[in-house]
Amino acid sequence: MTLYHVTQSLLAPGSVILPGNFGRILALYRMSDVNALFYRERILEEIRQAGFPEKPRRLSSAFCLEAIQEAQYFRDQVAGRLHVIYQVELVDPNCRQHRGDYNKVAPPSSALASLMENAAREYWQGAVIEHAEIVAESALRVVQYVG
């Protein structure tokens, strides 16, 4: 399966992106710095634990996209033009994975708790997906720089 990863890092083919980097970066910030992001991830984790415990934890996983067009959209509309795109492969293709719609929960929402909880349930259910992301408990291996 061809997958893509969006990041600010410049990497060589063969480089390995470890899972959990998003969680590591989030842990470096104070709660007041990124309040909406902490809130979003807390609600997502609470809903995952309560209703979808078989799904991978976002903060200890790696994120990738299934199509180059989606990676370009994510870079341009969500992450920012300073990011680059790599074609990647899962180091462990048999790892726990989840396919969800990142647009349901990103950008971070400071909406009422019930609205965020509903969005989190829809994200973990993965029934209707317009902008798919793969959350995988695997490292990613860089195949090539795309753009």
Rounded to an integer, what distance in angstroms lies between the CA atom of residue 127 and that of residue 29?
A: 33
Question: In the Cβ-directed half-sphere of 78, how many Cα atoms lie within 13 Å?
Answer: 17
Ranked by mean pLDDT, the top range of 36-40, 63-67, 101-105 is 63-67
Distances (CA, A) of 132 to 8, 52, 103, 140: 20, 18, 8, 17
Nearest residue to 79 via CA among 71, 87, 67 = 71
Q: pTM of the predicted model, to two decimals?
A: 0.88
Q: What size, in residues, is the chain?
A: 147
- Residues 104-147: tens digit of each pLDDT: 886 555 556 668 888 899 999 998 899 999 999 999 999 999 99
Handedness of CA 19, 25, 26, 27 (dihedral sign): positive
Q: CA-to-CA distance for 85 and 145, rounded, in angstroms?
A: 6
Phi and psi at 136, nearest 5°, equal -130, 135
* Mean pLDDT on 45-53: 96
CA distances from 124 to 31, 33, 68, 77, 86 (A): 24, 26, 23, 22, 25
Question: Between 42 and 97, whose confidence is greater?
Answer: 97
Q: Is the pLDDT of residue 34 over 60?
A: no
Instruction: Check pLDDT > 90 for residue 45.
Output: yes
Residue 24 predicted with pLDDT over 80: yes
